[in-house]
Chains A and B, each alone.
Chain A
Amino acid sequence: MHLDSRTPLAFAALAALLLSSACQSISDSVTSPSRWIADSSTALGDSSEASADSSNAFSKSISGSSSPEDETPAESAYRNDVRVAAREWGSAGGSTDDFARELGRISERHGISDWQGQSASFRGVAEGLREAGLPETQVTARIEALAGGQAPAL
């Protein structure tokens, strides 16, 4: 049991001391090497089930054979971020080049430099654009543009 919930006066006296530091500073965590014990074990959604066959999927058929059910947690987390970004792209607009750069930034945070080589990228884009209400012809056209003219089947 903690008395701090029963002593509002004492807390008020300490408020000035405490409130100014009521947010964790990023620099505190950045300078804590011990935190990598956990981060290194579970980062990227702990992709313990990640399989090699999902690499370089661009060169393989991506005609629906790799459904979300086949995804690892890491791929799913990545696709989800792409979906949210694509939905905003579909709603707010913007150039294909700018969105391609945005995909580059998103994928980098997931440990992926070559997003065109990941089928999850195109699945996420398709989902997001559909959520934004774009007609299927536009979804296909935008994905084709991102893929460089080689429209991956979804």
Chain B
Amino acid sequence: MRRRIPVMLAGVGLLAVALGPVRADASDGGLAFVHVEANVGGASGGHSALRVGDRVYHYQLGDERLLDLDRVDWDVFRFRYNVLENRPLKLAHLDVDARTQRTVADRFTSVLLRQRRERAEMAELGRDAALLEATLGRRSGVPTPAAGLFDPGAEPPPGALALAERLRSALGADRIALPEAIESTPGAAQRYREALALGFAVRMLGDGRPLARDAWVAAPGAALDAPERASLRALQRGLEDAMARLLAVRARPDRAQPLLVALARHRAAERSLATGRLHLVDPFPAEAPSLGRREVRKRRAELSAVADFLDERVRGERSARLNGEAPHEHDLARLEALAARAREYRRGAEEDRPVREPGDVLVPRRNRDLAVPAPAPPGASARVAALREEHDALRAARETHWHYDLFGRSGENCVTQLGHTVNEALGDPQGPLGGRVDPDAWLRFWPLMFFRDVEEQLAVSRVEALPAHRLRLRADLDERDGRLTTRLRESNTLTSAVYTPREPDGSFLFFTDDLLLPRPLFGAVNLLWATGDGMLGLFTAPFDRGARLVRAGKGALFSVPELFFVNIRKGTFDAATLPASRGAD
């Protein structure tokens, strides 16, 4: 009879178990090229990254097929690729001095900031165009970050007018006059938008307007205790100081957003103190990317498991950060994001509704279209067209630099771009890495070939191999229980205790990532298994919308390489299928 490891998402325990002992050396200095082996899903040909200290830099395929640089903590990277995606990792460590490490990290940081700046400039141009379109009556207003946190038509909540009174002198000092017209000088549209946003913020504060109905989240956990109440009061005092400063000191042109965010947090703290339950600002934009109902239904168990985990984290963060003193802003931001995501997943799992799934949102940016009182400036239509052209030119420039173009003239992908960035950082071909890898050489866009070059061309001090998560779990089982029956049980997807079949993995019966000579034979069985599943899928298609057919097709596709001794598919995990204990049965 099949026995399965119980799934227990018990707070950070799961993460600690999943990452295991490798977490201990995460603070290693130096550089390491990381080779991520193949598996089904994205990057089925493998992936490459560079670890610098505790951080990992890697390019990913983003919008419009552009290569976007990503920077994550090593633990996060490893959890995603080595645990969830169950891919073996190899690290080629290079012992370099601190100066070299900093030079490389600075170069990647510079690229990261540049890419973000490019995207931000395009977004600003889009908002400038929206401003002018609003004056032409083509849209209702101009999208303004954080303005959507408030309801400008609702009555003041308790304490709001008292706050306005306390800040009356600062408010009076900065009653800015909105320009009557939008000038045609460079940057005028942006300055007008900033003034419009600041005017809105001043009104929300001065008129005591409340948070919008859906702009806050009630955090899980017990009623507020004394230290939490003290923290919230200290937070409010700090926010009042910050608001007074933002109103009085005009050095920051975009200060409307921090002002609105500070006010929103003040309102949330006020509500918390009044109700005795912790309320936080919901930082997710209403228009965030989302998982649709169908996807939510398929991933209900996963969403529920992650929500359990995040709830636990919120409780932990509450006791750690609201300890009697004001929390640091980034800790508060993290608490808000955790609580919002937990609620989002919980609602999706329990109420069968779409789930907002934004990336790393920390500071609330909920947009609202603000009406534009200025008349259309002369030549507004032509200016909109010019802004669109400028926007397109920026996009074209981005494509020139970052386009994924594997089979084109530049031949760039995430691997070659990584190599180029390292080389740009260090310059000297025989520099501190002891050699040089040429990302433009034949087949070096292939992660495996690139990593081989790293091993052969650079002064690699050691190569560290991290087996895939399932194989680590299985090795633990072997160590504790070397019985043949256990090994047989873990050889296939039907009886394995450490692996639960997932739809993205496709239909297959035998694992082949830990086999060599029998791989073609097992691959043939997997192919037959997927074919049979596909035939069954023909009958079930009207009822499951072809899901079984798709799974079978994927299973057959990734069985073919196994006939040639090549393993790609290794199985994957998610929060609902991740065993909480290493190898217990």
8 Å CB interface, B63-102 against A: 63, 67-68, 70, 72-73, 75-76, 79-80, 83-84
Contact A21 B113 (CB under 8 A): no
A81 touches which one: B113, B338, B566 (CB < 8 A)? B113
Q: Which residues of A contact B541 (CB under 8 A)?
A: none
| 9-residue interface stretch from B201-209, B255-263, B426-434, B547-555 | B255-263
Residues 21-42 of chain B, each 1 if its beta carbon lies under 8 Å from chain A, else 0: 0000000000000000110011
Give Cα distance in the complex from A26 to B329, angstroms: 28
Asked whether B254 is an interface residue with its Cβ less than 8 Å from the other chain, the reply is yes
B406 touches which one: A20, A37, A113 (CB < 8 A)? A20
Q: Which residues of A contact B561 (CB under 8 A)?
A: 10, 14
A23 touches which one: B54, B63, B325, B414 (CB < 8 A)? B414
A37 touches which one: B37, B61, B79, B246 (CB < 8 A)? B79
Query: Contact size class for A?
Result: 35 or more
| 9-residue interface stretch from B126-134, B216-224, B444-452 | B444-452
Give Cα distance in the complex from A92 to B332, angstroms: 35
Asked whether B319 is an interface residue with its Cβ less than 8 Å from the other chain, the reply is no
Known: A22-B414, A36-B341, A52-B325. A109 touches B360 (CB 8 A): yes
Give Cα distance in the complex from A31 to B306, angstroms: 13
Q: Which residues of B contact A23 (CB under 8 A)?
A: 42-43, 47, 59-61, 67, 404, 413-415
8 Å CB interface, A94-138 against B: 96-97, 100-102, 104-106, 108-114, 116-118
| 9-residue interface stretch from B164-172, B295-303, B370-378, B390-398 | B295-303
B68 touches which one: A26, A46, A81 (CB < 8 A)? A26
Contact B252 A22 (CB under 8 A): no
Q: Which residues of B contact A114 (CB under 8 A)?
A: 242, 246, 258, 261-262, 329
Q: Which residues of A contact B61 (CB under 8 A)?
A: 23-26
Contact A117 B245 (CB under 8 A): yes
Asked whether B273 is an interface residue with its Cβ less than 8 Å from the other chain, the reply is no
Q: Which residues of A contact B54 (CB under 8 A)?
A: 45
Contact B42 A21 (CB under 8 A): yes
Contact B238 A56 (CB under 8 A): yes
Give Cα distance in the complex from A85 to B231, angstroms: 33
Residues 384-423 of chain B, each 1 if its beta carbon lies under 8 Å from chain A, else 0: 0000000000000000000010100000011100000000
Interface centre among B79, B241, B345, B445, by most A CB within 10 Å?
A: B79
Give Cα distance in the complex from A39 to B341, angstroms: 12
Give Cα distance in the complex from A104 to B427, angstroms: 31
| A-B interface contact total, Cβ < 8 Å | 282
Q: Which residues of A contact B38 (CB under 8 A)?
A: 18
Contact A24 B47 (CB under 8 A): yes
Contact A100 B79 (CB under 8 A): no
A105 touches which one: B120, B250, B321, B516 (CB < 8 A)? B120
B79 touches which one: A15, A22, A35, A116 (CB < 8 A)? A35
A-side binding surface: helix, strand, loop or mixed? Answer: helix
Q: Which residues of B contact A145 (CB under 8 A)?
A: 251
A52 touches which one: B68, B291, B327, B413 (CB < 8 A)? B327
Asked whether B196 is an interface residue with its Cβ less than 8 Å from the other chain, the reply is no
Q: B23 — nearest CB in chain A belongs to which residue?
A: A42
Nearest Cβ on chain B to A80's Cβ, whole angstroms: 7
Residues 69-107 of chain A, each 1 if its beta carbon lies under 8 Å from chain B, else 0: 000101000101100110010000000110011101110
Nearest Cβ on chain B to A98's Cβ, whole angstroms: 9
Asked whether B539 is an interface residue with its Cβ less than 8 Å from the other chain, the reply is no
Q: Which residues of A contact B84 (CB under 8 A)?
A: 32, 34-35
Contact A47 B330 (CB under 8 A): yes
Q: Which residues of B contact A88 (CB under 8 A)?
A: 110, 113
Known: A21-B45, A23-B61, A52-B326. A113 touches B310 (CB 8 A): no
B330 touches which one: A25, A74, A100 (CB < 8 A)? A74
Give Cα distance in the complex from A81 to B291, angstroms: 32
Asked whether A66 is an interface residue with its Cβ less than 8 Å from the other chain, the reply is no
Known: A22-B445, A40-B310, A51-B328. A104 touches B76 (CB 8 A): no
Asked whether B524 is an interface residue with its Cβ less than 8 Å from the other chain, the reply is no
8 Å CB interface, B111-160 against A: 113, 116-117, 120
Residues 562-575 of chain B, each 1 if its beta carbon lies under 8 Å from chain A, else 0: 00111110000111
Nearest Cβ on chain B to A93's Cβ, whole angstroms: 15
Give Cα distance in the complex from A67 to B120, angstroms: 32
Q: A103 — nearest CB in chain B belongs to which residue?
A: B252
Known: A22-B447, A24-B60, A34-B84. A55 touches B303 (CB 8 A): no
Nearest Cβ on chain A to B380's Cβ, whole angstroms: 24
Task: List the 4 closest A-B pairs by CB distance, nearest first.
Answer: A148-B251, A111-B330, A111-B333, A148-B249
**18 A–B contacts, CB within 8 A, in A order:** A1-B516, A14-B566, A15-B446, A19-B45, A25-B62, A34-B302, A36-B306, A39-B72, A42-B75, A42-B76, A52-B326, A56-B238, A81-B109, A88-B113, A104-B257, A111-B330, A112-B333, A114-B246
With A105-B116, A114-B261, A147-B251 known, 14 other A-B pairs at CB within 8 A are A2-B567, A10-B561, A10-B566, A18-B38, A23-B43, A26-B61, A34-B573, A42-B76, A52-B323, A58-B242, A100-B251, A102-B117, A108-B363, A148-B251
